[in-house]
Structure 1
Amino acid sequence: MQLAIADESTRAGDLRQADIDADGVEATSRTLLACAPTEGLGWFGAYWAEIRQAGFGPRTAGLLGLSYRFAPHEAWLQLIRAPLALRVFTAATPELKNYAAQDFADLFQARLFPSAATLYQAAAAAARPELLERTCGAPQIDRELLMHFVTEKGLQIRHRCYPFEDRPDHLKE
């Protein structure tokens, strides 16, 4: 809950409150990790606070990596972790890139297409081809549904696994 409050103050642009809330997330994460050092949410909270305060670097990458190590496939955590991981995709290690793309693939495979489309939209442009590559083996209907939700967000999909003939002309390559 502390993380959601802090995220909201950051989005609202209240820098003073965002700093206070980031400190709260850091303290809460430290407390959680002291009791449960394998809690992926605790490591993600530590990552969130650190990236807010210091930016992306080796230390923050390590915290994100621990979140993935201890909670690789928890959908509720993937929904909040993946957008942040996909934003730093170009600076991330190959391992973190793989984890972030797998978050997307897991949500896609769970048929959470609106959420997968939101992740696609939030992803760095360099990450998008890798995300779509993870969907190539899926049934065409699933890929069409993803394309529908991505198109609703005003984006186009240009990828070898999305050459559907029944696409509207304005979406064809």
Structure 2
Amino acid sequence: MSSIGRQGDGLIRACAMLCGAGAIAWSIFTFPTFSRERALEADVQRVLTGEQYSPAQLSVLRDKLSESRDRQLRPSVRSNLAVIRLRLVEEDMAAGRSKLDAAVGELANSIDAMLSDNPTNAFLWLTKFWLPIQQSDNAAADFSLLRTSYLMGPNEVWIALRRNPLALSLFAQMPDDLASRSIVEFAGLVRSGLYSDAASILAGPGLPIGQRLLDGLARVDEVSRYRFARVLEANDVQGLTIPGVKEFGVKE
């Protein structure tokens, strides 16, 4: 083999070694970040499924958030952190804990920062709409934020489960377009087979307009209407009728 050939082989081996060393270094550097991301994403899924947390588990969640450096995470993961922060603020509000203003302020700042990265995230817009209302009974609802949430995520069920009861609790104040959208969204929950969730919404914030919500089910398939009627019957919801169903479960 010529000296030129040997030099070429040596150069190839050196490049391969450098690439290999670079890959190892990259793995060592990024593995902790990927590991944190997986752990945070798992926490987000548990929150979204409604898992109940003990005080000790909530403390662990707080520690994870305080240790995480948001800017090192992918934008999609940073957006998901709002789900955890919202859950912690909700828990603090329910428990009447002190220093709530700091947690709310941190959540508000986090939402604004993440919306600058991901302005199409419907959940973030919904949270931005929700937060001032929870802080003060006298706060005027900024319905443009709710409208943006509907625009960015009209059919995301996990968002609708949070958005619909909130919207219905403000139904009398909402502009006509959003009032109509909330009725359509409720029908979407029934169409998706979320009968228990829809029944809870109907019996809760939706009760003042309960018949309007049920009238909105006219275009939902017959099987879904019948099954939803059975759930309402089991929950002892009375005095309302579903289109095409008489006395909750008996076809007209």
Shift of 1:18: 4.2
Q: Which one-letter code corresponds to 2:201 in the other structure?
A: L
Please name the residue that 1:9 is paired with. 92
**Map of 1:97-112 to 2, 5 A cutoff?**
97-112=179-194
In structure 2, the CA distance between the partners of 1:56 and 1:109, relative to structure 1 (3 Å rule), is farther
- Unpaired segments of 5 or more residues in structure 1? 168-173
SS at match of 1:16: coil
Q: 1:170 maps to what in 2?
A: none
Matched, 1:86 2:86: no
1:37 to 119, 139, 146: 119
Q: Based on CA coordinates, which of the two structures has the bigger radius of gyration?
A: 2
The worse-fitting range, judged by mean Cα deviation, of 59-68 and 118-127 is 118-127
TM-score (norm 2): 0.58
What's the offset of the Cα at 1:22?
2.5
Superposed displacement of residue 45, structure 1: 1.2
The answer for the alignment partner of 2:145 in structure 1 is 63
1:156 equivalent in structure 2? 238
**What is the match of residue 74 of structure 1?**
156
* Shift in Å, 1:24: 2.8
Aligned-pair CA distance for 1:117? 1.0
In structure 1, distance between residues paired with 2:139 and 2:188: 26
Is 1:49 matched up with 2:160? Answer: no
Amino acid at match of 1:65: R
Cα-Cα RMSD: 2.4
Percentage identity across paired residues of the two chains: 22
Q: CA deviation at 1:164?
A: 4.1
Is 1:135 the counterpart of 2:217 in the alignment?
yes
| Secondary structure of residue in 1 paired with 2:189 | helix
Q: Deviations over 1:37-78 (max 9, x none)?
A: 121111111111121124476652121111111111110111
TM-score (norm 1): 0.82
Gap change, CA 1:166 and 1:117, over 3 Å in 2: closer
Unaligned runs of 5+ in 2: 1-83
152 and 22 in structure 1: CA distance in 2 versus 1, 3 angstrom threshold: farther
In the superposition, relative to structure 1, how do residues 35 and 120 fare at CA in structure 2: closer, same or farther (>3 Å)? same
